[in-house]
Homo-oligomer: A and B are copies of this chain.
Amino acid sequence: MKAQRYGIIGLRRASASLQSTAPKIALPWVLARQIPLAGSFGNSNSSHGARRLYSQSPGLKERLSDAAQNEASNPAMAFPCLDALETRSATLEARSLSSGPEPAYTVGDVEIFRYEEPFLLDWGGVLPRFEIAYETWGQMNSDKSNVILLHTGLSASSHAHSTEDNPQPGWWEKFIGPEKCLDTNRYFIVCTNVIGGCFGSTGPSDIDPADSQRYATRFPIVTIEDMVRAQFKLLEGLGVEKLYASVGSSMGGMQSLAAGVLFPHKVGRIVSISGCARSHPYSIAMRHTQRQVLMMDPNWNRGFYYGKIPPHAGMKLAREIATVTYRSGPEWEQRFGRRRADSTKPPALCPDFLIETYLDHAGEKFCLTYDPNSLLYISKAMDLFDLGLTNQESAALRRQSGSLTEINNASCSLTLPDVPYAERTDTETQLDGSEISVPADSRPPQDLIAGLAALRDIPTLVMGVASDILFPAWQQREVANALRLAGNRNVTHVELSEEQSMFGHDTFLLDLQNVGGNVKNFLG
Chain B residues lying within 8 Å of A369, measured Cβ to Cβ, are 40
Are A414 and B340 in contact, with the CB atoms below 8 A? Answer: yes
Q: Which of A63-71, A251-259, A422-430, A509-517 contacts B (4 or more CB under 8 A)?
A: A63-71
User: Of A47, A205, A336, which is in contact with the most chain B CB atoms at under 10 Å from its CB?
Assistant: A47
Are A209 and B73 in contact, with the CB atoms below 8 A? Answer: yes
What's the Cα separation between A207 and B70 when bound, in Å?
Answer: 12
Taking CB as reference atom, which chain B residue is nearest A350? Answer: B295
Q: A380 and B349 in contact (CB under 8 A), knowing A74-B220, A339-B414, A408-B344?
A: yes
Are B112 and A52 in contact, with the CB atoms below 8 A? Answer: yes
A sample of 8 cross-chain residue pairs with beta-carbon separation below 8 angstroms, ordered by A number, consists of A11-B111, A18-B237, A49-B102, A67-B210, A70-B210, A74-B215, A296-B314, A347-B383
Chain B residues lying within 8 Å of A280, measured Cβ to Cβ, are 329, 332-333, 338
Q: Kindly state whether residue A376 has any CB partner on chain B within 8 Å.
A: yes
Q: Kindly state whether residue A421 has any CB partner on chain B within 8 Å.
A: no
Chain B residues lying within 8 Å of A295, measured Cβ to Cβ, are 79, 81-82, 349-350
Q: For residues 307 through 362 of chain A, which have their beta carbon under 8 Å from a beta carbon of chain B? A: 313-314, 317, 320-321, 324, 328-329, 332-333, 335-340, 343-347, 349-356, 359
What's the Cα separation between A510 and B239 when bound, in Å?
Answer: 60
The total of chain A residues at the interface (CB under 8 A) is: 183
Taking CB as reference atom, which chain B residue is nearest A298? Answer: B298
Are B41 and A103 in contact, with the CB atoms below 8 A? Answer: yes
Q: Kindly state whether residue A145 has any CB partner on chain B within 8 Å.
A: no
Taking CB as reference atom, which chain B residue is nearest A304? Answer: B76
Taking CB as reference atom, which chain B residue is nearest A43? Answer: B99
Q: A113 and B237 in contact (CB under 8 A), knowing A11-B136, A303-B77, A339-B414?
A: no
Chain B residues lying within 8 Å of A495, measured Cβ to Cβ, are none
Chain B residues lying within 8 Å of A115, measured Cβ to Cβ, are 28-30
What's the Cα separation between A45 and B100 when bound, in Å?
Answer: 8
Q: Kindly state whether residue A472 has any CB partner on chain B within 8 Å.
A: yes
Chain B residues lying within 8 Å of A350, measured Cβ to Cβ, are 295
Q: Which of A116-124, A264-272, A449-457, A482-490 contacts B (4 or more CB under 8 A)?
A: A116-124
Q: A43 and B100 in contact (CB under 8 A), knowing A123-B346, A337-B281?
A: yes
Q: Kindly state whether residue A8 has any CB partner on chain B within 8 Å.
A: yes
Q: A64 and B296 in contact (CB under 8 A), knowing A76-B217, A107-B40?
A: no
Q: For residues 31 through 79 of chain A, which have their beta carbon under 8 Å from a beta carbon of chain B? A: 31-37, 40-45, 47-50, 52, 54, 57, 59-60, 63-64, 67, 70-77, 79
